Amino acid sequence: MQPKRRIQMSDISQLPQNVQERIARLQQLQNTMQQLLAQRQRLEAEKTETERALTTLNETTEGAKIYKSVGAVLVEKDKATVIKELTDRKDFLEMRAKVLEKQEEKTKEKLQGLQETLQKELGLTQKQG
């Protein structure tokens, strides 16, 4: 039994067309997964920041002046209004995170399936060659 050898990038053009297409699809799925993970990290960071702002607002006394950043300007706002806006934003971020998590799961399943298919095909291709 011969040891398995790794396929080099220069070898790809020698593979059957359908295998080349699967490798390209695998690379697309890997890029998609990286993008999804980056989006989720940004969402988590914004959610943490929003939660911290809500905690701070809940600790402020009634009647304290509250300012909200609107672009490059700070605008005075009612505390209850800002709390409502931040709570709505947090809810949206949590919902969006769940959607991204489902997309990640689906992408991961596709990646695993495609990797298994490629490993079988490449194993067969190597034995024939």
Assign residue 78 a region (left: φ > 0; alpha: ψ between -120 and 50; beta: otherwise). Answer: beta
Q: Which residues of 52-70 are buried (b: 16+ CB within 10 A; e: fewer)?
A: ebbeebeeeeeeeebeeee
Residue 116 tokens, joined: 């298994």
Highest mean pLDDT among 18-32, 54-68, 87-101: 87-101
Q: Which domains does the chain have, with CATH numbers?
A: 19-58+65-128 (1.10.287.370)
* pLDDT score at 50: 97
Q: Is the pLDDT confidence value at 2 over 60?
A: no
- Read off the pLDDT band of 128 (50, 70, 90): low
**Per-residue pLDDT reduced to its tens digit, 76-97:** 999 999 999 999 999 999 999 9
The more confident residue out of 66 and 3 is 66
Q: What is the pTM of this model?
A: 0.76
- Read off the pLDDT band of 13 (50, 70, 90): confident
Q: How many CB atoms sit inside 10 A of residue 123's CB?
A: 11
